[in-house]
Structure formats: structure tokens, C-alpha cells
């Protein structure tokens, strides 16, 4: 089977917008937000977005209330500092 470039991007762990690796390297930015937020940024509901590109699409910084209560959002040792700061809240 031959895949298009878009299909290949959806199969791997790269961000749809910037092409950064988001899932298969450490520190990663693999996370889960509420469906309504995700669909507002990604109506096709496929592929992955790094934190910066999701924030760019929604026009604001993510905050702890944006994330669902899922084990993937508690893997702090594997997360990028940027993702951790959004999940726990940036205290700066």
C-alpha cells in the first residue's frame, strides 16, 4: 500500500502543523484534552498536535482544566516541561 504524505504524518507521531515529534521520543507531548477542545482545534479528529500548535489553533495557552483525567496525563517523567507546566498549572 502506498500512503500520501498526509496519511504518513497521521500514522506517526509528528505534529500536523510543525512536524515536531510528539509521541515517540522523550520528553514527549502526548496528552489528552477534552473532546470539545480538541475538535474545536482539529475538526477532522485525526493526527497529533504539539502543545504550541494546539495553543496556536485555539488562540490561548492551555490550562489544567483543559486536560481530561487520564493516565497519559500523569506520566510526568516522560513529559516535556512545557506540557507539564500546562497540566499542573504554570506558577510563574
At 29-67, the pLDDT tens digits run: 989 999 999 999 999 988 899 999 999 999 999 999 999
pLDDT above 90 as % of the chain: 61
Query: Any idea which residue has 520528553 for its cell?
Result: 27
Instruction: Express each pLDDT in 62-87 by its tens digit.
Output: 999 999 999 999 999 889 999 999 99
Is 48 in contact with 24 (CB distance < 8 Å)?
no
Spell out a b/e string for 9-27, using b for 16 or more CB atoms within 10 Å of the CB, else e: beeebbbbbeebebeeeee
pLDDT at 23: 81
| pLDDT of 24 strictly over 80 | no
**What's the pLDDT band for 2 if we cut at 50, 70, 90?**
low
pLDDT at 80: 92
Domain ranges of the chain: 5-88
Distance CA 34, CA 81 (A): 21
Amino acid at each position: 500500500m502506498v500512503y500520501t504524505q498526509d496519511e504518513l504524518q497521521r500514522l506517526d507521531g509528528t505534529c500536523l502543523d510543525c512536524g515536531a515529534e510528539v509521541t515517540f521520543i522523550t520528553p514527549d507531548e502526548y496528552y489528552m484534552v477534552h473532546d470539545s477542545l480538541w475538535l474545536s482545534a482539529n475538526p477532522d479528529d485525526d493526527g497529533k498536535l504539539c502543545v504550541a500548535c494546539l495553543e496556536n489553533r485555539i488562540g490561548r495557552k492551555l490550562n489544567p482544566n483543559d486536560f481530561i483525567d487520564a493516565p497519559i496525563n500523569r506520566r510526568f517523567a516522560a513529559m516535556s516541561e512545557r506540557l507539564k507546566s500546562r497540566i499542573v498549572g504554570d506558577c510563574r
